[in-house]
Amino acid sequence: MKIRDIKTFPVVIGRSQLIVKVETDEGLYGWGESGLSSRELAVEGVIRHFREFLIGQDPLNIGALWQAMYRSNYFEGGRVLAAAISAIDIALHDIKGKALGVPVHQLLGGKQREYVPLFAHTQAPMGPQLLADARLLLDQGWNVIRTWHDEPDAVTQRRYEPRESIAATATWLTKLRAEVGPAPVIGVDYHHRLSVAEAASFCQRMPPGTIDFLEEPIRDETPEAYASLRTMTDVPFAIGEEFASKWQFLPYIERGITQFARIDVCNVGGLTESMKVAGWCEAHYIDLMPHNPLGAICTAATVHLAAAVANFAWLESRTSPTEALGFADPAFFPVQCQQDGPRLIVPDLPGLGVEFDEERASHEEFAISRANHLRRPDGSITNS
Ligand SMILES: [Mg+2]
């Protein structure tokens, strides 16, 4: 079997997505997805380069093809290349599963769990709606809840002041814990918008036990900065959704900086790289809490990963009683993982168990999504 063609589909399905199809000369094909949101056309360009040497290759030699994509052109790695590698690597796993007649989790060591537990997200502003959302989720069996941070003027005015945000967020998360009691898991995503000092102050404004994880308080280019922050609070961190290789995870795992691995299968280098990071995390008693804000192919790939590893906490879900964003619209993904409340069922179909309607997608207009470009009140640019 040989790779015959690689096609890309930049589409807007609730959000911008880049779907990738790898076709073989035997009629089998695989679906992949890139996770570098809002940079879909850059990833598409890399895939055009990869296509030149991938056509004619055996799609079952996934490990060697991963190495060829990462290492064969001198300028190794980086987020754009890794996102392209991720999409192709996922598609190759889909092909291999179909070729062997087994679900992808069988290629990764087999199923260790019957279903994949999910966490829900609420975008409720810091205020009474947050408490109402939490009650709604708990009533429907969702006991792992992630919140967003306070940003009242971010969308309408593109204004964001971290000190205002940490005051309101700490105040309302403290009320949230008092409201729900000690049992539910509560986390907050700060989307790397804080400095070390701001993140430390935020944690120190809440009583111990208020939150179970703090996601991405600061940017991650400098592990030393995170190591410094690690000494200033005992709140567990959840870091890694932007990491584009095992090497980016290295200091965070080995130095005990992160307590959950927010791995993104569509950014880190696909299932091949994810399994290596997962094993490394297992050795350090770190559970995976995968990033999954994309489409149905990302979700399917991540469910197979989650099924096959021992060290797993919860998978991000953007379909819950508090969210229905349509990223996995069944009109575009007629076959996809089935959700049962706060659980995703592990598919047993050969391959990923997901199908994309490329004919329908070909009629859709793609639009480049623009970032928010947040500014502080003084006009300076801040992290978005
Ligand atoms: Mg996040």
* pLDDT at 72 exceeding the cut of 90: no
Whole-angstrom distance, CA of residue 144 vs CA of residue 118: 7
* pLDDT at 371 exceeding the cut of 90: no
- Map out the domains of the chain as residue ranges: 3-103, 106-349
Residue 302 phi/psi, 5-degree rounding, is -70, -35
* pLDDT at 369 exceeding the cut of 90: no
Q: Express each pLDDT in 275-316 by its tens digit.
A: 999 999 999 999 999 999 999 999 999 999 999 999 999 999
pLDDT for the residue numbered 354:
98
pLDDT for the residue numbered 370:
81
Query: Could you tell me the distance, in angstroms and rounded to a whole number, from the CA of residue 192 to the centre of ligand 1?
Result: 8
Q: Could you give the 3-state DSSP secondary structure of residue 23?
A: strand
pLDDT for the residue numbered 15:
93
Query: Could you tell me the distance, in angstroms and rounded to a whole number, from the CA of residue 114 to the centre of ligand 1?
Result: 26
Query: Could you tell me the distance, in angstroms and rounded to a whole number, from the CA of residue 183 to the centre of ligand 1?
Result: 23
Query: Could you tell me the distance, in angstroms and rounded to a whole number, from the CA of residue 215 to the centre of ligand 1?
Result: 6
Q: CB 109: neighbour CB atoms within 10 A?
A: 12
Give the burial string for 330-359 (b: 16+ CB within 10 Å, else e).
eebbebbbebeebbbebbebbbbbbbbeee
Q: pLDDT confidence of 73, banded at 50, 70, 90?
A: confident
Query: Could you tell me the distance, in angstroms and rounded to a whole number, from the CA of residue 241 to the centre of ligand 1?
Result: 7
* pLDDT at 364 exceeding the cut of 90: no
Query: Could you tell me the distance, in angstroms and rounded to a whole number, from the CA of residue 151 to the centre of ligand 1?
Result: 15
DSSP string for residues in 60-95? T-HHHHHHHHHHTTSS---HHHHHHHHHHHHHHHHH
* Fold entry, domain 3-103: Enolase-like; domain 1 (3.30.390)
- Enumerate residues with CB within 5 Å of ligand 1 (an ion): 189
Q: Express each pLDDT in 165-198 by its tens digit.
A: 999 999 999 999 999 999 999 999 999 999 999 9
Torsion over CA of 228, 233, 239 and 245, rounded to 10 degrees?
30
Radius of gyration of the chain (CA): 20
pTM assigned to the model: 0.97
Whole-angstrom distance, CA of residue 30 vs CA of residue 15: 22
Q: Express each pLDDT in 220-278 by its tens digit.
A: 999 999 999 999 999 999 999 999 999 999 999 999 999 999 999 999 999 999 999 99
Residue 133 phi/psi, 5-degree rounding, is -60, -45
Residue 94 contacts residue 32 (beta carbons within 8 Å): yes
Tell which CATH architecture fits domain 106-349: Alpha-Beta Barrel (3.20)
pLDDT for the residue numbered 41:
96
Q: Indicate the residue type of 262.
A: R
Query: Could you tell me the distance, in angstroms and rounded to a whole number, from the CA of residue 315 to the centre of ligand 1?
Result: 12
CA atoms in the 13 A half-sphere facing the CB of 223: 14
Query: Could you tell me the distance, in angstroms and rounded to a whole number, from the CA of residue 349 to the centre of ligand 1?
Result: 30
Ramachandran category for residue 162: left, alpha or beta (phi over 0 → left; psi -120 to 50 → alpha): alpha
Q: pLDDT confidence of 51, banded at 50, 70, 90?
A: very high
Residue 146 contacts residue 121 (beta carbons within 8 Å): yes
CA 265 to chain centre: 7
* pLDDT at 144 exceeding the cut of 90: yes
Query: Could you tell me the distance, in angstroms and rounded to a whole number, from the CA of residue 316 to the centre of ligand 1?
Result: 9
* pLDDT at 346 exceeding the cut of 90: yes
Query: Could you tell me the distance, in angstroms and rounded to a whole number, from the CA of residue 189 to the centre of ligand 1?
Result: 5
Q: Could you give the 3-state DSSP secondary structure of residue 266?
A: helix
